[in-house]
Amino acid sequence: MSPHQRLLAHLTEGALDAQDQAHAARCAACAALLFTEGQPKPLPAAPKAWLDAAHREMAKPRRPWWALSLGLAAANACLATAAVFVLKAWNWQLSTSPRWLFLGAATVLAALATAGALLALSPTRRWLKVAMGLAAVAPLCVLLAADGRVANSPFLAGASCLWTVLLLSALPLAGGVWLLTRMAYSPWRALAVGLVSGGVGLLALQFHCANGASAHLLVFHLLPWVALGGAAVLLRQLLPTSSYAP
């Protein structure tokens, strides 16, 4: 726990000690939180400089969040479409699942990769919840649309699908994490961006992979997809925040 967090915790409990007082004497921000006889202490001169710096930062021209998010969504759509055509639609030709179920799963994955990019980067928390809802439904759609057919190849040969998910999602993940540095850190938002990025690879495999076994889908499709969500959280945590006002 940092000295700032420790002071705030003790201030809430009403039990400041000598270590907190010593920290407040050195930290202007924490000193401003302390009260003497019910009245806040006057702010020192330093915070005025911080306020001026904040005003200058807010006055800089910046693109709205939705403009950059639209760019990410369009890039995801183009990459997923290209991957489907380049890899060829093997599963579409071989799958014995009902066509409406197959296309329904593909539609959900397409929405996750495109609309999810907009929703996850929206400053409104309500839309972030919608993006997480899409991410929660995506694996269910993948499993429900599978026909259970086992490929005539060794189980570990399915690792090619794992690499497909990771490679196709690398660029969307990098772009999404970079956009996240333009707003305050949120692990849930970073997780959503990672899962949205992984939707590109899942959509390509929905049309390409002819192995419909649940074990294959869980290990080589959905496991790397979840790993991308965790990677996004870790990467965003390591990167500095360039702006707190998207």
pLDDT in tens, 189-212: 999 999 999 989 898 888 888 888
User: pLDDT value at position 42?
Assistant: 47
Question: Which burial class, exposed, middle or buried, applies to 40 when counting CB atoms under 10 A from its CB (0-12, 13-18, 19+)?
Answer: exposed
SS3 content of the chain, % helix, strand, coil (to 5): 75, 0, 25
Number of H helices, E strands in the chain: 13, 2
101-105, 209-213, 225-229: which has the highest mean pLDDT? 225-229
Range of the domain at 23: 3-59
Per-residue pLDDT for 43 more than 70? no
203 Cβ contact list (under 8 Å, min separation 6) = 80, 83, 84, 106, 109, 110, 112, 113
User: pLDDT value at position 33?
Assistant: 64
**Domain boundary pick from 59, 81, 100:** 59
Per-residue pLDDT for 38 more than 50? no
User: pLDDT value at position 182?
Assistant: 82
- For residues 170 and 184, membership in a common domain is answered with yes
Question: Which burial class, exposed, middle or buried, applies to 166 when counting CB atoms under 10 A from its CB (0-12, 13-18, 19+)?
Answer: middle
Domain for residue 88, yes or no?
A: yes
User: pLDDT value at position 41?
Assistant: 47
pTM beyond 0.85: no
Q: What angle do CA 61, 67, 72 make, to 5 degrees?
A: 130
- For residues 29 and 50, membership in a common domain is answered with yes
pLDDT: which is higher, 99 or 40: 99
Mean pLDDT value across residues 140-152: 83
Domain for residue 246, yes or no?
A: no
User: pLDDT value at position 224?
Assistant: 93
- For residues 172 and 72, membership in a common domain is answered with yes
How many residues are listed for the chain in this entry?
Answer: 246
- For residues 113 and 50, membership in a common domain is answered with no
- For residues 92 and 39, membership in a common domain is answered with no
**Domain boundary pick from 23, 41, 59:** 59
- For residues 86 and 116, membership in a common domain is answered with yes
Domain for residue 196, yes or no?
A: yes
- For residues 21 and 139, membership in a common domain is answered with no
Q: What is the mean pLDDT of the chain?
A: 79
